[in-house]
Amino acid sequence: MPAAIGRMPCFALPIRLRSIATTAGSRMIRTRSLLLFLLCVGLPICDAVEAPNVVPIDDHLVTSGQPTRESLAQLGAEGFQAVVYLAPSSVEDAIADEADILRGQGIEFVHVPIVFRAPNAAEIDQVAAALDRLAGKKVLVHCQINMRASTVTFLYRAGYRGEDPAKAFESVTQVWVPEGAWKQMVIEVLAARGVDFDPF
């Protein structure tokens, strides 16, 4: 299976497939679209999390917005071993007993509450330390709509794990382009970590 399919955000698939189906009239194109859809439906990493803006990074790392209560209750069955939650517990769509739901399945819960309007580099260090410790485990990093999570995970991959920053940043642009305080933090963290890359 092409690697690109595995990294495609699940929420984007219906849009892309609908576009293919409506812009091409041939039966072959429609058949290929259906096959592509069925292939992705069969990917466990796509089905594993019911949440906004799910972006699989690799077999062990996924970012997303807030999963539903039902999805949280199934993460253990989907093979997840840890969840890193990056929004404050006071946000409107937070699930108050998320930690209990996860720990009841033997899933480690790490909470680094990042205030959206005021992220800071110390919080990135905290997340990086947690992800380093969880290396080799299947981890979900989530916030509300995957703006915090996608950006922080990018900074970890590019600044702490030494991955290609341009490639790592693709997982951010599937969700948004950081602006304001987040744009400034990205620039500062990359510079502090010695990463020569300007995503803006």
pLDDT profile of the chain (200 residues), mean per 10: 37 34 36 37 60 97 98 98 98 97 98 98 98 98 98 98 98 98 98 97
The order of strands in the sheet holding 55-58 is 55-58, 61-64, 139-142, 82-85, 108-111
The pLDDT score that the predictor gives to residue 4 is 33
Cβ atoms 140, 83 nearer than 8 A: yes
Please classify residue 23 by burial: count the beta carbons closer than 10 Å to its beta carbon, then call 0-12 exposed, 13-18 middle and 19+ buried: exposed
Reported residue count of the chain is: 200
The pLDDT score that the predictor gives to residue 48 is 81
HSE, side-chain direction, 13 A CA sphere, residue 139: 21
Phi then psi for residue 158, to 5 deg, are: -80, -40
Q: Check: pTM over 0.75? Answer yes or no.
A: yes
Torsion from C-alpha of 177, 170, 123, 95, nearest 10 degrees: 80
**What distance lies between CA 28 and its chain's CA centroid?**
33
The pLDDT score that the predictor gives to residue 163 is 98
The pLDDT score that the predictor gives to residue 18 is 30
The pLDDT score that the predictor gives to residue 46 is 53
